[in-house]
Structures are given as C-alpha cells and as structure tokens.
Structure 1
Amino acid sequence: MLGAIATASAAVLTAPAAGLLGYRQLKRTANAKRLRITTPNGIDESGFVRIGGIDQWVSIRGEDRNNPVILEILGGPGASNLIFIPRTRDWERHFTIVRWDMRGAGFTFAATGPAEQGEMRLDRLYHDSLEVTEHIRARLGVAKVLLVANSFGTVLGLRLARNHPELYAAYVGTDQNVIAGGRERSAYHALVARLRQANKEKELTAVLAMGADKAAWSVEQQSQYNKLVLTTDPLSYDTMKTVVIRSLWFSPLHTLRGLRAYLKAMTFSESLARETVAIDEWAEGTTFPLPFFIFQGDGDVLTPPGPAKQLFDDVTAPVKDFALIQNASHFASFRHPDQFLDLMLTKVRPVVTGEPITG
C-alpha cells in the first residue's frame, strides 16, 4: 500500500539542498532525544533475530516491562513502521511495542538486499510471524501478546488471530483490508468517480482500462492504482506529505542511504500484494476466539471504513468493538496517534489486563 510514496519521496532524496540537510539533522536530533527511554523498568533494544532461516530486525521499546506487549504487523507490503516511532512515542508509556521489519522490509532488507530475503510468499510471512511471536514470548516472559496490524499487515493479522488465540490477547486492525474474494470494489468505483469529477481524462482512461477486477492487474497496475487513490483524495495526499514523507525524512534511525533502501524494499515487496487479491475473509472464517477490534480512518479511501464495518458486523468474538478515527485517511493511527492511543487505552487495554485505566 505504501509504494505510492516512492515517487513523492524521490525528489527529496536525490538532490537535497544544504539548508534542507541541516534542518533535517536538527529534526533528527530532536526526535532521537524524544525517543530516549530512561525509566528504571524500561526496555529499548533492537537487533537481528534468526527468523525463518534469515536474520530479521526486531525492535522492542517501552517504559515499563510490566505493560501489555504489542506486536505490530506492518503494512506496505515492505513498509517498516520504525519511521513512525517519534509520532507514536506516547504509546510506549502504556505498552511495550515490538516492531518487526519482516523479510523484504526495512533493516531486514537493507542488511543484505534482495538476494538474501529468501522465500517471498504470504505463507512464509505468516510462519515468520509465528516465530517472531514465540521469540517475544520467550524474551519478555509473557504468555500472550496483543496483535496490532495495519494495512497489508491486517491480511496476516486476521489469519494469526483466527488460528492462534492461544498466542494473542486480542486483535486490533487499523487501515483494515477487506478483500472479500475480489468482490469488494468500492474504493475502485470511488476513484473512478473522483477522476470523472476532476476531469482527469488520461488517468480515468487508464483506470477504466484496468477494470475493477484486481486479480487481472499487473504489479505495475496495482502500484499505479494505489498512487492514484492516495493522490486524488485531498486528505490522503495531505497525510502522505505531512505524516508519511515527513516521518521518512526526519527519522533518527535512518541515514539517507537507509531511506533509499527503505523505498527499494517497498518496490521489491510489491509482488506480495498479488497473493492477496483472492482472499475471502468470510470464507476463511468470521469466528475469532479472542477480543476483536477495528479502528478505521473515517476518510480512508484506500481501505474504506464501510467494508471494514461489514466484516466487523459479521465477526463473532467474546468481545468486539469498532471505532472511527476522526479526520483520518489511510495511515489513520499514524496521522492521529493520540486518537488511536485513546482507543487502545479505553477499549483494548482494559479487556487485555482486566483492569480499568486510571489517570
């Protein structure tokens, strides 16, 4: 889903002016200072872990090891969530957060490049996820972890939550993908309507030529579609510029070379999306033996809230809740990390811990 940002980022990364580089360094230094964890029972560690036969990057951060543990399943495919840590720093006061750069993403991709990523298939990522989960349980001494998946990651997240309630305390999906065996086409039709209204004849012709059946699209057409969806909607385009690209540019964890590797990873991993086009969430099962939550951007045009709510309504779970993040497009939790945290504290954490949040 994030492949569309590559074009917008390229100009910044290829020929930055000296003044821009200086400002970038100031912001990176400030962000690095913000990221420091100094609490007595805190944790801040990262490095490579042998997962699925290759070394994969795992970051664990939080101010109190006694807090519930979150495993984030990233989007993209191939888009590391590590760039958003300065925006989500407050989450780490209440949760210990594990951010994993899966094969084909982030530092895992950057370390060895495309040749050493191994098998790039959805089923391989699923089993990698289980290995990472077991690593976290052993490393942090917890029986279960809280599964938080965004965008492409929700495809894996649903399967993990459905099949392994013994490992996960709850499922939280945001930017929730709903594919419905290829039947879900509302985002496509909304794009066609926007292009018509804007009299963008060239783009409209290209989108109509693709047709609504994503299973018939090439990787290049999928990327073109995502880019058009995100750039033709004002809120989504603003989010790309002010949230995604700024997070990339000012990340204290990434050098300029690291940012280029970040973008190359997304391009490398794009083909994974082709494996998802026929997934039918209803056919795979709507019974989840664990608490189930979806927090969706109210203005998300890439993974619209309507289909996510339809899926939610059909889910059977011991506890479930659905909420909209206001004035949010795709990347809802990163555009409004305060709203997302409030939902996590008021709806999710009490269910996971059995205790209400105070203060």
Structure 2
Amino acid sequence: MVDAALLAASAAAVLTAPAAALAGYRGLRRAAHARRLRITTPHGIDEAGFVRIGGIDQWISVRGDDLSNPVILELHGGPGATNLPYAPRTRDWERHFTLVRWDMRGAGKTFDRSGPEGRGELTLERMESDALEVTRHIRGRLGVDRVVLLAMSFGSVIGLRLARRHPELYSAYVGTDQNINAGGRDRTAYDGLLDRLTAAGRRKELAAATAMGPDRAAWATEQWSQYNNLTVGSDPLTLDTVKKVVLGSLLTSPRHGLGELRTHMKAMAFCEHLGPESVAIDERAEGVDFRLPFFVFQGAEDVITPVGPARRFFDEVAAPVKEFALIEDAGHFAAFRHPDRFLDLLLTKVRPAITGAPATAATVVAGVSKSAYAAATALRLQ
C-alpha cells in the first residue's frame, strides 16, 4: 500500500516546476494518451459510467478491441487507489482481453460521487459483496459465464476470498502485488524495512520503525502511514515507480482532472482503516484449495508485498492449474511498470488455461519484432 501522504509529497515536488511548463507538458501527454486510448474496431467496446452497486453509484469502465476476447475484472489496490489512470499504459492488454476496471467503494470516481458521507459501509465484507455484484453485472452485460479475476495488492485480499468461494463465476485467479496475510504472524516486509534502514544508516527512521513493533494489528492509523512512507522511501525502485508510474499516470490521465488527483489522495487516506482489518486475516486458515486455475505474477523486488510469503502460499495451493512467475526489475506495481511483460504472462500462461488454445505472446505484434515492439512500447510510456 502506498500512503496518500507520500503520494501528496511526491506530487508537491513535481508541482514546484514552472506552471506554464508543467501545464504544457501535461497537455501534450494527455492528448497523446487520449489518441492512444481510442477504440475504433468494429467489435470493440469503450463504455464507462455509474452502476448501482451495493446501494450506491459505483464507476465501472469496460474496454476492449473485440468483445469475443476473454473478460478480465480487475480489483485495484490501495485501498482506495483507482487503476483507471493506468489505461494508457495497459492499452495493449485491451487488444487481447476485454478489461473491466471498477472504482471500488471509497475510491476514484465512486468516492468523488458519494464523498465520505455517502459511501455507506466500508468493510472487507461489504467490498466482497460489492465485487460479487459487479461480477454478476458484467456477466450479464457482456453475456459471459465467467471472467478472469485479476487482483492487485489490497484487491488480492478480496480476490482470494472470491476465488475460494465462487469458482463458478471466475475462469482463473491472477494475483499480482499479492498480499498474503498470516494473522499478523509474518514479519517478512517489516524485517526487510529494518534491514534497509540499518544498511543505509538511517538511525532516526530505524528507531521509529523499531518502536512500532511488527504487530500491524496493534498500529494506530498514523503508524500505518508512517510505516508505508518508510517502506517506499527506503527502497529506490519503489520510490522511482511511485514517482514515474503512479504519479506520472495520475497527472497525465486524459480522463481525470487535477481535482481528481486530490480526490485520489483523499480516498486513500479515507480507506486506511481497512489495513488493520485485512491484516487479521489468516489466508491458510481460510483455505489453500482453489477449484480454478491459479496464477501469481509478482515483482521480483517487491518490498511492500514481498515474494517470499506469496511464493510459500502458492506452493501450498491446490488448483487444477497453477503457475508462479517473477517480473524482473519490478517491485510493487509490477503490472504497470512493465505492462508488456505482464501481458506476455497473461497470453502465455493464463489465456491457454481458460481457452484451451495454444499460448501466444504479445511481443510480436503485426509482424513487428520483439526488440522493435519493446522499444516502441518504451517510447510510448515515457
């Protein structure tokens, strides 16, 4: 989880640039992204709007070049952190899948619409119930029996429960930035933070982290914020990703105004209390048997949701098909730092498991070589 305060500080640093230069750059990038997002194929779909879910209006976006492609329902992280601004980075996903992005209760356009007072109950149980309602809405809207469940970071807490309890609704589970809660017993991420602070000689921050102790369930809200800031700030790769990928996407999204950037930060701060509730979950006690294909694609250098706990849990999972893969040069937000690599995994691992068709790769597109395609993608995402 990336703390709203850290994101706000990063945004403030960016916004110190001359206003005219920043506005000009932002305008150019937004225009380029808007062109990239156009869907003009005869069997494509690009629709978005509010749907009544769980008694409140919630924003759902459905995009894809061909409605005959498999459908992915994405559960975003945070909590409270919409994935809609990443659409330009994941445009190529929509050539192979119909991608459903949903601003959960307390996030993005849903939060902007309802505000803190109108969002209703905000608990893990309520979020799971909302997700089921969204799933059924999408199945009816698109006329499909099952959808791929792509769960990210905080969303993977809800995603594991859905995959266990409702395999009839989902053709596969795909976790990334995979959270594995162990009833508060796992210290991997916390110990990693202490090690990084010790190695860097940051004694003041080390003392603060040590004083918190490893029991996250006992932390006050401000301690959660402090821990998140220390975790991100102590790891250069994660900090670089927050600035370039997360903040860069928020600032240049053609479908979000600057006011919605402030709303994004407010939503994350508002949802912070879900962190302690999620930590109390014991994933092994809830079950390791999954009656659907099960995949975890994790950033190899993730310090927020480390590889170790995710891999150990995966090894215990019983599923008809399962596969674990690491994305190199990536920490948290691996899918958005390297969307081309993530798409390759979806096409070579997930799609064959749900369609029975041979594996395909995204790295050769319309006769373009892998190296040329990678270079073009890199240019588009700068």
Report if TM-score (shorter chain) is over 0.5: yes
Q: Quick one: distance in 2 between partners of 1:121 and 1:247?
A: 28
TM-score, L = length of structure 2: 0.92
The match for 1:155 is 157
User: In the alignment, does 2:129 pair up with 1:127?
Assistant: yes
* 1:2 matched residue in structure 2: 2
SS at match of 1:181: coil
Pairwise CA distance, 1:315: 0.2
AA of the residue aligned to 1:131 = E
Percent sequence identity is: 65
1:237 Cα deviation from its structure 2 partner = 1.0
State the 1:160 CA deviation: 0.2
The equivalent residue for 2:377 is none
- The answer as to whether partners of 1:34 and 1:86 remain within 8 angstroms in 2 is yes
TM-score by length of 1: 0.98
- Cα offset, 1:14, TM superposition: 8.1
Counterpart Cα distance in 2 of 1:142 and 1:80 = 25
Contact 1:13–1:260 (8 Å) recurs in 2: no
Cα distance change of structure 1 residues 205 and 160 upon mapping to structure 2, 3 Å threshold: same
Q: Structure 1 residue runs of 4+, over 6 Å off?
A: none
Query: Could you tell me how far apart the structure 2 residues matched to 1:120 and 1:13 are?
Result: 32
Q: Give the length in aligned residue pairs.
A: 359
Measured in 2, the distance between the counterparts of 1:300 and 1:288 equals 25
The residue number in structure 2 matching 1:168 is: 170
Structure 1 residue identity aligned to 2:214: A
Query: Could you say which residue in structure 2 is the equivalent of 1:347?
Result: 349
CA contact (8 A) 2:177 2:305 kept: yes
After superposition, residues 77-226 of structure 1 pair within 5 angstroms as: 77-226=79-228
Whether the 8 Å CA contact 1:13–1:256 is kept in 2: the answer is: no
SS in 2 for 1:41: coil
Counterparts of residues 284-323 of structure 1 (less than 5 Å)? 284-323=286-325
> What code does the residue aligned with 2:313 have?
L
CA displacement at 1:114 relative to structure 2: 0.9
> Secondary structure of the residue that 2:273 maps to in structure 1?
helix
SS at match of 1:182: coil
Matching of residues 19-38 of structure 1 within 5 Å: 19-38=21-40
Q: 1:271 aligns with which of 265, 270, 273?
A: 273
- Once the 2 structures are TM-superposed, how far is the Cα of residue 12 of structure 1 from its aligned partner? 3.8
Is 2:331 the partner of 1:329?
Answer: yes
Decide whether aligned partners of structure 1 residues 147 and 161 sit closer, same or farther in structure 2, where only a CA change above 3 A counts.
Answer: same
Cα RMSD over matched residues?
1.2
Tell me the equivalent position of 2:77: 75
Structure 1 residue 198: Cα displacement: 1.1
The alpha carbon displacement at 1:6 in A equals 2.9
Which sits farther off after the overlay, 240-249 or 35-44?
Answer: 240-249
Which residue pairs with 2:42 in the alignment? 40
Match of 1:235 in 2: 237
Hey, what does 1:51 align to over in structure 2?
A: 53
Q: How far has the Cα of 1:7 moved from its partner?
A: 2.4
Q: Unmatched 5+ residue regions in structure 2?
A: 365-382
Secondary structure of the corresponding residue to residue 169 of structure 1 = strand
Once the two structures are superposed, residues 167-201 of structure 1 have per-residue CA deviations (whole angstroms, 9 ceiling, x without a partner) of 00000000000111111111101111111111111
Shift of 1:154: 0.3
| 8 Å CA contact retained: 1:5, 1:227 | no
SS in structure 1 opposite 2:174?
strand
Contact 1:286 1:315 in 2 (8 A): yes
**SS of residue matched to 1:30:** helix
Shift of 1:238: 1.1
Kindly provide the CA deviation profile for residues 38-84 of structure 1, in whole angstroms up to 9, marking residues without a partner as x: 00000000000000000000000000000000000000000000011
Structure 1 residue 263: deviation in Å? 1.2
Q: CA deviation at 1:15?
A: 8.0
Match of 1:282 in 2: 284
